[in-house]
């Protein structure tokens, strides 16, 4: 048996900078491809007036504060390229590919609203801070 060094599982606790959206906001992230049970890929946001959840296929749910029940929210799904498995990645890939082709046809080197190299750098800073925090056992400021 040998030591596992891949990032197949991660738990993050986050404190967000104060902004016009709120003060003293915190968050958690649980990421795993090795946990037992049903595979679930979803994103949840909780606030003082309720919660939102986006599931793997792009389904949107809302839970008003105090209700304890998730209610579906009707949204239009992006199209999917022929032959691709239905899912949020496939739909996102299809939509982004169309935007890339459109940008190239228009002679642009950027896709409006898409992540940039600078965005990727900022994400890398967060990942590096998470590793430093794990090593030190302390909060790490980004």
Across 8-12, 49-53, 89-93, which has the greatest mean pLDDT? 49-53
Q: Which pLDDT tens digit goes with each residue over 104-114?
A: 999 998 998 89
Domain residue limits, the chain: 7-76, 77-137
DSSP 100-118: HHHHHHTT-SS-TT---HH
Beta carbons of 60 and 54 less than 8 angstroms apart: yes
Beta carbons of 77 and 58 less than 8 angstroms apart: yes
Return mean pLDDT, the chain: 88
Name the pLDDT band for 7 (thresholds 50, 70, 90).
low
How much of the chain exceeds pLDDT 90, in percent? 46
Burial zone of 56 (CB within 10 Å; 0-12 exposed, 13-18 middle, 19+ buried)? middle
- Beta 50-54 vs 43-47: how paired, if at all? antiparallel
Q: Which pLDDT tens digit goes with each residue over 48-85?
A: 889 999 887 778 999 999 998 999 999 888 888 999 98
Give every strand in the sheet of 50-54, ordered side by side.
43-47, 50-54, 60-64, 71-73
Instruction: State how far the Cα of 79 lies from the Cα of 56, in Å rounded to an integer.
Output: 15
Task: Tell whether the model's pLDDT for residue 40 goes beyond 80.
Answer: no
Other CB atoms closer than 10 Å to residue 91's CB: what's the count? 18
């Amino acid at each position: 048996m040998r030591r596992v060094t891949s990032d197949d599982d991660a738990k993050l606790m986050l404190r967000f900078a104060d902004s016009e959206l709120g003060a003293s906001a915190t968050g958690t992230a649980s990421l795993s491809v090795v946990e037992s049970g049903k595979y679930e890929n979803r994103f949840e946001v909780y606030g003082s007036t309720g919660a939102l959840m986006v599931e793997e296929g792009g389904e949107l749910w809302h839970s008003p504060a105090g209700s304890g029940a998730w209610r579906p929210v009707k949204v239009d799904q992006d199209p999917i390229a022929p032959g691709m498995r239905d899912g949020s990645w496939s739909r996102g890939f299809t939509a982004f590919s169309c935007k890339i082709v459109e940008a190239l046809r228009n002679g642009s080197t950027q896709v409006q609203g898409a992540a940039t190299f600078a965005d990727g750098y900022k994400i890398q800073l967060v990942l590096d801070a998470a590793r430093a925090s794990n090593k030190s056992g302390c909060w790490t400021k980004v």
